Amino acid sequence: MTETAVMIHGGFCGGWYFEPWAERLTAKGWTCLTPDLPLHGDGLKGARTEPGLADLGIADYTAAMADVVRGLDEAPVLIGHSLGGLIAQQLCAQGLAKAAVLLAPASPWGIAPTSPYEIAAITGLMSVGPFWTMSLDPVFEVAADNSMDKLPPDRQRGYFDRLSAESGKAMFQSMLWHLDLDRNAAVDAASVDCPLLCLTGEADKVVAPATVQAVAAMYDGRAEYRGIPGFSHWIIGEPGWEVFADTAESWLDSTLSRQ
């Protein structure tokens, strides 16, 4: 049977983030979709480029990805990275996936930061001012020191030049979830009945391994956690990233064969 994967990128990125893995899966007979989140995509930097971005939140992103999935003939495998991992969890709670691979997933409402790096990121955002009303441009030094810290310098710059602006509203709902009375980042874990693999780099500064372990624990045995030493947050593209693909594909082969 041909399987379909919908690959959901994280904040500041675009569907291009998954290009290397999508090419690999396609060569193995999979159908791969790598949609952009609304008003994201290659090189859409600058708050003035997409003025409507500041009005978008997590619910808008999840609704857009739900539309993509509902347009398919059957439920796909979801593969989500970072913020895309949170969106994938919300889609799973809607019954829209047969399985999901969550790469360094942003945590749902209720899971507190577990590392000084995560707390520092929140503090940095708050120093900007009312960031939840803004579109946020990526900052090279921040990206290079945190999410891209395991990449060679030339590749850091190459990836950075493809980044988009991001919605401060979506960042607020994800990172300062305790101040969001509408709980936009919430996931009804009890409604998730498909198997999940939570996969992360053990040197990740953006989403700490302990945070990903807490995400997996939400699902009461339906999620498996695996950490891979030596990798940070920019999983697809770091030297040797194929170990993540090998691990996930082996898990998917085993998991899907039992369905």
pLDDT at site 51: 74
- Read off the CATH number of the domain in which 167 is found: 3.40.50.1820
Which pair of structure tokens corresponds to residue 249?
Answer: 């594909």
Helices (H), 73-152: 83-93, 116-126, 140-145
Place of tokens 């009945």: 193
Amino acid letter, residue 232 = S
Q: Which tens digit of pLDDT belongs to each residue from 25-79?
A: 999 999 999 999 999 987 676 655 567 999 999 999 999 999 999 999 999 999 9
* Alpha-carbon distances of 222 from 51, 79, 130, 150, 198, rounded to whole Å: 40, 16, 38, 31, 11
Which are the contacts of 23, defined by CB distance < 8 A and separation ≥ 6?
none
What is the token pair recorded at 215?
A: 């995400």
From CA 194, how far away is CA 191, in angstroms rounded? 9
Measured CA to CA, the distance from residue 250 to residue 197 in angstroms comes to 11
What confidence tens digit (pLDDT) does each residue in 115-129 have? 999 999 999 999 999
Nearest to 256 by CA among 30, 23, 73, 17: 30
Domain range enclosing 59: 4-257
Q: Count how many domains the chain has.
A: 1
> CA of 216: how far to CAs of 77, 86, 117, 192, 207, in Å?
17, 12, 20, 12, 13
Tell whether pTM > 0.85.
Answer: yes
Task: Give the model confidence (pLDDT) of 188-242 as tens digits.
Answer: 999 999 999 999 999 999 999 999 999 999 999 999 999 999 999 999 999 999 9
d(CA 198, CA 123): 26
